[in-house]
Amino acid sequence: MDKFFHIVTYGCQMNVHESEKIAGILSEMGYKSCESPEEADIVVFNTCCIRENAENHAFGNIGMLKKLKAARKDMLIAVGGCLPQQMNKAENLHEKFPYVDIIFGTHNLHNLKGLIEKKLKMRKTLIEIEDSEGEICEDDKPLRTSYPNAWVNIMYGCNNFCSYCIVPYVRGRERSRDSRKIIEEVRSLVSEGYKEITLLGQNVNSYKGELTFPQLLKEIADIDGKFRLRFMTSHPKDFSPELIKVMAQNPKICHCLHLPVQSGSDAILKAMNRKYTAGQYLEKVEMLKKAIPDCAITTDLIVGFPGETDEDFKATLELAKKVNFASAFTFVYSKREGTVAAKMPNQVPEEVSKARIMELVELINSQTRALSQMYIGKTVEILCEDYDSKRGLYMGRDEYGRMGYFASQKNLIGQFVNVRIEHANGVSLTGEVV
């Protein structure tokens, strides 16, 4: 009889790709993918703990499986990813959800097969959280679900210890993959027909292989075939003129850059341990705009970091106005136990943070809308990614990451399509194939 798996993913692209690796392991074990926990023989939660609401979300959904598990005792529930990797969290999870069968950490993913086999021979919950990162595992055979895009890890972990951030504690120190292995992986993905390659790392600029990050990008861009090349995330402190040059000289590298600034106030940036000032950030942005005038710059912003005053917040608004971000992820600071900022005095009251985030979101939305309006009447090349059955339209993105919708009789998924934009509604564009 067929066995089925269902994976629920939270968090960043890194986790999305890791779920593809989990799916790869489960398919090798003979499981097939299914759409809902009700049909599944194993449900895996791949969790995130970057902010409290990410955690609560996972907790809520794990809690919802209690009834199902009571009715179907032979169904396995596994919880992995960043959440259980936090100090004492695995025990906490076990207490709260005693019916969860396997709890594993970020460094145990590659042994999921072994964990499942071990669990099937025992009654009690199997908890395995490795403290240290160990060697990079090169045996992954991810079951990719994001065609025509393919995610490719180039490095893991983070050494930056921004004072608010839990990632260095749950993902371990920076480890870079071998440059040749990365290039080989991309070459084979391109020959399999993938049209967009996104290189992944918490801080791709600090990639340290035989090649530097700009050299690696250039070699990948030199691979034959038509495909787009993206990378994320870049840390402003390591964003270099060499990288700008490589971006400007290689047409396969998309003219868009995600460059999280977090705040526009020097005092807050210092307290965040970001290692750059607002002025230095703006200088790098200017350098980039000069070399690549059409480059779309996106960012992450946090409001309500401990000690953030109205003046500090104004500086963030000012910086956002100067850069004119194509879009931005905006977050209210969330206290993460074990980080340096969690112990800082002057935590900002919730009402203040809420008012600030609303003002910031309004500004960012107005910038995004204004950029959308400039698209009207223009023809852009969209890589068709999917069919949106609700709208009855195909959708995809242009090289700047802007989403576009269009009608077609033919299935165009995986193809580059020229679309003349007719309507702009907030972030999304609609047009006609030309």
Q: Which residues bind ligand SF4 (CB under 6 A)?
A: 158, 160-162, 165, 167-168, 202-203, 235
For ligand SF4, the closer CB: 174 or 398: 174
C-beta closer to ligand SAH: residue 260 or 431: 260
Q: Could you tell me which of 432, 406, 330, 325 has the C-alpha nearest to residue 370?
A: 325
Considering only residues 6, 51, 89, 177, which one is a binding residue for ligand SAH as defined by CB under 6 A?
A: 51
Question: Are 419 and 380 a contacting pair, CB within 8 Å?
Answer: yes
Question: Amino acid identity, residue 209?
Answer: G
Burial 26-65 (b: 16+ CB within 10 A, else e): beeeebeebeebeebbbbbbbbbbbbeebbebbbeebeeb
Q: Please state the closest distance from residue 410 (CB atom) to ligand SAH, in A.
A: 38
From 7, 12, 295, 424, residue interacting with ligand F3S (rule: CB under 6 A): 12
Closest CA to 131 of 99, 163, 192, 88: 88
Q: How many CB atoms lie within 10 A of CB 358?
A: 12
Pick the binder of ligand SAH from 4, 31, 156, 164 (CB under 6 A): 164
| Least distance from ligand SF4 to the Cβ atom of residue 172, Å | 11
Angle at 5 between CA 3 and CA 7, to 5 degrees: 180
Using CB positions, name the residue nearest to ligand SAH. Answer: 300
* Contacting range for ligand SAH; rule: CB under 6 A; set: 1-9, 188-196, 217-225, 328-336: 328-336
Helix ranges (H only) for 78-225 are 82-85, 89-96, 112-120, 167-171, 179-191, 213-221
Interface with ligand F3S by CB under 6 A: which range of 61-69, 166-174, 233-241, 324-332?
Answer: 166-174
Query: What's the gap between Cα 266 and its chain centre?
Result: 26
Query: Using CA atoms, how far apart are residues 243 and 263, in angstroms rounded to an integer?
Result: 23
| Interacting residue with ligand SAH among 302, 315, 417, 419 (CB under 6 A) | 302
Binding interface with ligand F3S (CB under 6 A): 11-12, 14-15, 48-50, 82, 166-167, 170-171
**Binding-site residues for [4Fe-4S] cluster:** 12, 48, 82, 158, 162, 165
Binding interface with ligand SAH (CB under 6 A): 50-51, 164-165, 167, 202-203, 233, 235, 260, 262, 300, 302, 331, 333-334, 336
